[in-house]
Structure 1
Amino acid sequence: MINPLREPLGNSNLSIVMGISIIVIVIIDLLMTRQLLDYNHITGNIMFILTIVICYGIGSFVLLGFAHKVSRELRNKSRLSHLMHWNVILVQFGILITLVFMLFFGNSGYILSRLIFAVSSLLAMAIMLVITFKFFSWYRASKYKNPIVLFYALAALTLACSIFEDASTKLIMIQIIYEEPAPDNQITASSFQYKGSDKYDGQVVFVTSNTDGTALFVIPQTYLDLYNYLNSIILPVGFVFRWIASSMLLRNVYKKIGTLPISLWIIISLPLVLYLIGKMPGFFSGESLAGIDEAYRYYFRVLFRVGTIAGNILFGLAFFVVAKKLKSSKVRDYLILAGLGDTIVGISLSTSAIEPTFGVAAHSLVLLSTYLFTLGLYSSAIRVSQEMKLRQSIRDSAIEESKLLVSIGSAQMAQEIEKKVFAVVEREKAELTRDTGLQPTFTDLDTKEYLNSVLKEIKIIHSIEDIISKSKDILLDSSDFILCTKPSGLRLAYNNYFEIYQQICRAEKTGAHNGIKIVTSIIDSNDIEVVNKFLALGIGIRHVKNLPPINFAASEKEMIATIQKTEGGQILQNLLTTNETAYIEHFSSIFNELWKNGIDCRNRINDIETGVDNEGIEIIQNPETFEKIFHGLIISAKEDVVGIFSTPNAFRRQKFAGSLELIKERLETTNLNVRILVPEDELIYQTINELEHQGFSNRIKIRLIEPSMQTKVSIVVIDKKYSLAVELKDDSKNTISDAIGLVTYSNSKSTVLSYYSIFESLWKQAELYKQLQLHERMHKEFINTAAHELRTPIQPILGAIDILRNNATSIRERELIEIVSRNARRLKKLAEDILDVTKMEGYTLNLNKEKFRIRDIILENIHNCEANFEKGKIEIKFIEVDDLQIIADKSGISRVISNLINNSIKFLPSTGGFISITVNLTKMTFDDKIGNMAQVSITDNGSGIDSEIFPNLFTKFVTKSFQGIGLGLFISKSIVEAHGGKIWAENNLVGQGAIFSFVLPLDDTDQNNKTSTL
């Protein structure tokens, strides 16, 4: 039996094998209980065990497991199907337990066997009555009556009657009479007798005995005629209607493939013929065949049972033959279930339930088989009902549109109706699938064919005959022929006078005609189908995206055009035809221009078929339309959805609009995977935590992109088939309609895959960015720790050096101490530089601003430098053009000047080195503002700036010197820019050396005072 706590086995081949095994067991049971095969207590018990193990133990597990898998969608949509399914499982499980109990503890008073028979029959009958009600309801509710549903209902009803008749006659009419055991305690074999008994005033049907006594199953004389009548009439009628339903079911399924072949009709018809032949004696003599010689009775019984068995086996064979030819696995699986159920139910109903052990066990399989047969019949009926509803929708939609377009007489309008009807049908199909769990098999071709018949019935296109007639005349009388029309016009020509095109093309090959040229607009595969018909004739056809609003055709002598105009609120179609040369030349020039700008239709067809459709792009201006399309695409998504949100607010708006909840619902019924890229934000982290808590984090993955990657466009790609690019208009708005601008929708394969490729690149970059952030944080922590660890021991070293310098007694000692002191100071400066770089990169550089004169810190730095070099080796000159006072971080600006002086010193010649420092007032445009600035320039006569490092001069670790690690200029730039200033460098235009300059904003008050003094 099915374990409802785990996924069931669902293999159709295994189910077929088990179904065949059950059929074999039931056939043997049938032959033994009907005494066509001899049996005794030992063989009877063996069959009883086999029935329990194979039919109920293994068979029910496999078949119900297969049914559980196949009917999952149906049960999800139908509470009735769900309830029926689990009731069958529970009852089958209960029957199995009861049979096992009977195996070990016996069947005292035949209570358990009769209980099994009653329960299985009643539930099977209930199933058939419920389905009967369902079928009759569908038939009554439909505007267009379909006989298939009616016969399904009658078949279900008569099968329910057959089950009820079988159960009522066996359980109510047949009485069990017990006799004392024979004197010699001899146990006679169980047997069917169908013999009259004066003693018991009735007919003894079955006798079974054991050591406790003998039980006789007797039909009282008062019930005998009714018993024989019911068995002779009800069962055959039920079989006939079951045959009709099965035949219609197979024909209805097979019609999608083609016409049912004669060989299959023979296979389907044989069961009915064999059954009726075998049943004929019962019509004349009743179920007991009373009045017929014993030998003949035996052979009649053999004939009937062979007919029953062969007929039901052929039923199953017909189902399997049709199922094998189907492409749809879902329909095929339902058909296999119906075939197994149809075969087993026929044979199990023929197995005698009077036999109190293995007979009743085999007969009670009527519940399982009825359920399997019902699944196939029910799914087929749903599809028939769906088809009727779709046809009804097509008719109603076409008639409704015809009321608006009653005076229209063009193929263009027919195409418009077709487009609207197709939209209605697609919507109806989606709703039917959602309601029933079964996908309608009604194809686009079915829709077209039925719509054409409806249009002819309601005569929607009143002037179509005039257009067809005139077009024929012009084409036949032409030497040159041009045609400008939408594909609907080509369909009109193909359906009504295609043979004339064939005739003209043959004439062109012999030189009797100059040929035909056509311009049209090819949108989808439906257009390709009709265009290919004309291409096959060798006609030149070109595709134009935007055709004029007028369809026309012209020869060298005459032309025809259909022109639309509006009168009284309705669109009317006027037919224009003329032989005026001016008109012909005018329309010919229009055609030639379209032909010149068109593209070869083969290229257009190839683009559509390969998915490279650059015309599948639409600009959406209405936000409500965007939301509707977006939600529709999410609902239709099957594989994956990827999205790039321009800002955290863009993600927040979609979340509040319910898009995320919609995606979660799709995850429950599909294998959908979702990936999202969005700039980091508190809500984003909250959403990530919610998804992880709800168990969606494996299928909805969110990665954060760095703020610099934010854009003004959000992009969503669905199943690599559709894309939406949404422009951001105002990110401060709370609603989508207020925040977004234009939206670009595309189903062009090249466009969609380009967006998808962009997403994949950004997805990988986001992961790399996350790793880089981690590495950078570790890097900064390491440098910060290392710099601190370096600086900590330096200060004690410098203090100790001062003590040693004071206590030095010789020149050699002083020299050594000076070397240690100089390098310790260099090490201290290096540690400070590293720490400062770490602060600057972490945006934690603090400026302690104060007012001071810039000349003071320049002179201080000059004095410190001169103290470190021999007198006369380097000359440092200070030229103060203007005495300027600034508000800045004094130690920071001092450090900038010190770094620039030291940088110049590194590249001075060994002798004659010269550095000049100048301070002056200047005006400079900075950040689009003109202001007074203090400019400091440091000029040297060194080797100048190497051209290799010039572009990256102020970045980290850039140096050509063997002294230092290239952090001084980077630190200087960071300090100057933190004050709102600017720093730059250049090589001397005259002579050698370089000039490093920086500017700082002046204190406005001080500058005003200075100006007034001057």
Structure 2
Amino acid sequence: MSIVIFCVSMAPGKYDEKSLPPHGLHLHKNTQILYGAENAVGKGVEFMKNVKHKMDITFDHKAPSIVIEIPQYYNGYADILKKGGKIRCITEITKENLHYCEELVKTVTELRHMDGLKGGIAINEAEYMATTVLQEAQPLTEVIYSNVDAVVAQGQFIFDTLWKNATVAQKKIKELKEGIKSYETKLITESNDSLIETELGRIVRDSSEINIYTSIDGLRINKNYLIESITHALANERINAHKRIRILVEINRDNLEIIKELLYLGIQIRHSQDISSIDYTVTNSDLIIAVQRTEKNDPSDSILYSNDPSYLDHFTNVFEEMWKNSKDPERVIKSLEEETELSFIETIDDPAESVKLIRTLISSAKYEILGILPNFNSFLRQVESGMMEFMKTISLSKKNVNIRILIVEETDNEMQHKILTVFDKFNGNIPGSSNFGEVPLEFQFKDVENFKLKVLNSRLFTEIGFLIVDKNKSLIIESKNIASIDMVKSIGLSSYSNSHRISKSYASIFEALWTQSELYDKLKVQDRLQKEFINIAAHELRNPVQSLLGYSDILMNTTGNIESYSNFIVTINQSTKRLARLIDKVLDVTQLENELLILNKENFSLDKLVIEIVREYNNNIHLLNKNQLEIRYDSRLNDCNNINSESNRNFGYVFADRTRIIQVIMNILENAVEFTEKGTITLRLNENMTTHEVLLTINDSGSGIDPEILPNLFTKFVSKSRKGTGLGLYISKKIIEAHKGTIWAENCYNRNNKIIGSKFTLIIPSKDN
């Protein structure tokens, strides 16, 4: 270390420069520059005589000989000690001045060692002196003297700073005499980088094994140091067995070219994301740590150097552990060049960081968010922490992001009612106002189609939650089994990964559980509907069977002309047909579910078929006590040509099973008639010559379809009728689909948004005749 002490501050004063004597300035409070050995020595002797209690002095490695060999100085030191004063002295102790320093230890109160001292300073209670570079055993030839208070204070501060960092003289003397290696830890600070560069160059040049731990910025900033030092040390040759250089760094696009350059030189490089902002280089004998940077792109202001074995061992062990857990650079470089993200798994032990990451991941979603909550309390914590409100905000702002949340716990009606109450609050409803049935609900925010929350009513026990975003990023969260609804307190360890394969695997688990939840819901729905069907079927069977038994008993016990019992015979016939229809429906369902339905297709006019059905219905409408109901048929070609006349009925041909199509139309008409007390039922037929399809609509002016059952209208056992079995529309849909056609239903509304009827639409593929 090179330390040059000088002072150029001059106390202000009024004097005539021409009257200055050649040897210096003489003022009451002044700063003087004294030239010549006589003047310098004289001022030094005077300075020592002025000491009352203490003198602090520093000088370079040549000064100990001056103090010991020049009587004026030696006696001056002795006089200070005789009158009870103290002398603190700092110098550079070397092999060459060891003899003088051993004598100097006896001459001063305390002596300390510091490397690289040049020149010197001295301070007593009121005076300050500074010298230039000395000559061994020669007196002073030039000094700066001042008794200005500010200058004295400044000199004292400098001395005290050096004293704190100096080494006890006895230790240094012992090391030199016994040949003991000196261990030191020192801060090297320079306004330029020359000394730092020199130290780094020496380490690279002299060490057989070099380990460099550096941040991205550190590697980029120290590029010239590293490249130049290493290139010089290798002498344009590849690294051989006698020198090994390893660099641990986080590789990214900013330092990619530097990394390639260092790899080309044969340096071993590994990638780690756990690199801190501290850069250090450690060998078997040296440690350099970059301790400060004033600006992001500036080199280190200073470095901490040490050859202390305890520090070397510590930083070497840290490096080796990091090296073991680091990644091959070739894979990282390939990922960066192909612009793909490098996969990783990170363990997070800070619950607050986990919560922050959850929000970050949700905000980053591009098309999908999948979440699993391990229990009902986890859901309540999400609500309490504002996470559900946050999810609602995301779902509203990102319409293209599909969000699905699954609660994995067997819940009771009370739990589900609480969930519904929460959503009532979010949706602006009066809590508890929603219709809550036995069937598990799929919970949604109002007017938000891309958010769904379901409950998996399963005894599956888990204490971890999942968050999967875009099947690219996943977060697995340990959930503590505590009563608190504080989200942070309930979180244990978390595992975060950006691996596509890992995230996709977790997404598959989610999909399996989600499908299980849907199947469970359907099973409960089917169970409820099947019970209702049994009740309806029992009713449907009981009435006709009772009629058959009653009227047949009457006929068996009656004599006379059979014509007089025609009413009984008609009732028996109707009851028998009713039973036959019920049996046919059950058989149809069995065939459809076992894919045994056989279609006897033929080419026929659907137009003429509809005319026949409408005519038959109108002829028998009075038998149904529907005297205020009229059934109409209106057919159009391409929505524009009215072809009601018999002569123009040469359209609407389909290639289908005539009997099955009749069954479908009759099923729909039966429902329309049942739910329409008065008004009209209108059938319309259109043909699209472009798509080769025939479209049949059936509109009624009845009570419409209950909105609760509309989404499931074509499933088994769904019915609001006291008479129906809930099988007719299910069978109709299956028949139309077997013809590669489609069928759907909808309600009709007036301007006041009131239901004024329903509309069924059938599309059947046509075939030109």
Indicate the TM-score class for this superposition, using the shorter chain for normalisation. 0.3 to 0.5
Greater fraction helix: 1
Greater fraction strand: 2
TM-score by length of structure 1 reads: 0.27
Q: Which has the larger radius of gyration?
A: 2
TM-score by length of structure 2 reads: 0.35
